[in-house]
A and B are shown apart, each in its own frame.
Chain A
């Protein structure tokens, strides 16, 4: 079964350092997402991406965050200067283009656990 894959599974970084989290969405999907989950809390939307541009972003997704689709398969989240409060599990997700029907299901990867020290 096709799946969203993410790397790394764990990363520890020092405060102020740049971090890049990588994702390979499901191959025929056209919408891509990043969500995050602080330990013990609910999953929060960060950003959605379609046709090489951001389609929607949350208040969390400030100027320290950026996303990129550098080639036909990868989708990355960059945190320019990490803060302690960025420590969380970051989930990449993707879906097909259709808005209604089974094609609108959003599938998640296993997550990248980021610890900022």
Chain B
């Protein structure tokens, strides 16, 4: 069956350092891999996605890397700020022409220390 999971439940980093959040997936048929950020008591906020035919995509202060050989996804946050403290979920999506639902992983808590 398909599953998306995270290696570490909590990641603590110093303000200004780079953060790397990892995710393992098992569904090779997924078309997109997505990172969401969830702050306490709020809904998931889209950060960045990557299509399965790519291996790297950059956004503002964030980079997503996809390694299909080992089924691994990572989110790199440059110069981590206190506002980056949140739970980060990876998710995957298969484009079916129908609902194209998201399947979420269990989340990693990122704590930014001052």
Q: Which residues of A contact B (CB under 8 A)?
A: 4, 31, 33, 35, 41-45, 48-50, 55-56, 58, 91, 95, 99-100, 104-111
Structural contact, B107 and A33, CB atoms closer than 8 A: no
Partner of B99, one of A33, A43, A107, A108: A33
Nearest chain B residue, comparing its CB with the CB of A99: B95
Q: Which residues of B contact A99 (CB under 8 A)?
A: 95, 97, 100
Chain A, residue nearest B99 (CB): A48
Assess whether A106 is in contact with B46, with CB atoms less than 8 Å apart: yes
Partner of B100, one of A58, A104, A111: A104
* Supplied contacts A31-B99, A42-B107, A48-B101, 10 more A-B pairs, CB within 8 Å: A4-B43, A42-B89, A43-B91, A44-B104, A91-B44, A99-B97, A104-B93, A108-B45, A108-B46, A111-B41
Once A42-B107, A43-B104 are accepted as A-B contacts, the answer to whether A48 and B98 lie under 8 Å apart by CB is yes
- For chains A and B in complex, what number of residue pairs have CB atoms within 8 angstroms? 65
A109: which of B32, B43, B98, B103 is its contact (CB, 8 Å)?
A: B43
Q: Are A56 and B106 touching (Cβ within 8 A)?
A: no
Complex Cα gap A42–B91 (Å): 10
Q: Is the CB of A56 within 8 A of B45?
A: no
Residue B102, interface by CB 8 Å: yes
Q: Are A110 and B98 in contact (CB under 8 A)?
A: no
Q: A100-B95, A104-B32 are in contact. Are A45 and B46 (CB under 8 A)?
A: no
B42 at the interface (CB under 8 A from A): yes
Note all chain B residues with C-beta closer than 8 A to A49.
Answer: 99
Chain B 31-49 against A: per-residue CB contact (8 Å), 1 yes, 0 no? 1101010000111111001
